[in-house]
Structure 1
Amino acid sequence: MHPIHDAAVRMALTPAALSALAPTSSARAAVSNLLEHQLADDALKLQAHLLQPGYAVAWVCGRARRHILDASDQQGLALAEAWLRDPLDTHRQQALDFAVSHRCATIGAWLAATAAWSAEDATRVQAAHAVVATLTRLAAIAPEGFVPARDACIRDALGLLDTVAPSP
């Protein structure tokens, strides 16, 4: 199976998104194509899965820093950034403990979960879903409104997809 299509299936993209994905060797082209077809939710899911874990964590942390967060969300952000700076298992475990104790119910908990689950290949799909959950919640509190904030978020990170190895 083609790696981009495999990622699309793993992230449960809609049938419309699956049919809109043309055979391509570029992750960036695939996500851009979904945006052009007005399938931004699917584009976000695919982008979250295709990015290297460190880039995905940096992406959500950067987006979170643009918002006024409460103390708990700031703590989750700090834990994600600690793992990003130094991906030790102790930082991963602290992030995971925070996410679990907050039942992945807040932006900060999702930020921490993104870092915790990005540390292992076995939880890559979970990490991608955490990226989507974090960015969706951030878009929901954006002053410009959900759709413009979500779409800007996707477009801002398109260049990060250039780090994804071309598909065979």
Structure 2
Amino acid sequence: MTKPLRFLQHYSPTLQDKIRQLQAQGLLGDYITQRYPQHHTIQTDKALYQYSNEIKQTFLRNAPQLDKVHYDNKLGIEHHALGLNTAISRVQGGKLKAKKEIRISSFFKESPTEFLRMIVVHELAHLKERDHDKAFYQLCQHMEPNYHQLEFDCRVYLTWKSEAKA
């Protein structure tokens, strides 16, 4: 019985076997660093907000304004949440105000540029599409044409990083 790949369970057995082979040979890190050699420099919440807002303005001009985007130390691999999109509703005066907030796991501070973009695109897509359905993934692909490959490779990256922690 082969050990399940926690982050890759929904992929084909053939693809999982290829990743297991790389894992057994100790080559997962090489696979990732060869494909994604650049780490980003977006280290502050202010820079993350600006980065996210630029993508939003390019693709989702009519979506609600982002009130806050920040790194969150409480989100991580072990919590099965790498990003969260929330709307906090408050009554102000006689009006109901909803503040849109995106939280990105601090795990992504040390990730390749493409993975940060992928997770930001994912969370921004939730401004328009709440569910992970066909329309949601079409929107993700509109904002990042390589979205599905990046999501897969990010899951390989998570597998590699969680293996290194163990």
Q: TM class by shorter-chain length? A: 0.3 to 0.5
TM-score by length of 1: 0.33
- The structure with the largest strand share of the pair is 2
TM-score by length of 2: 0.34
Which structure has the larger Rg? Answer: 2
- The structure with the largest helix share of the pair is 1
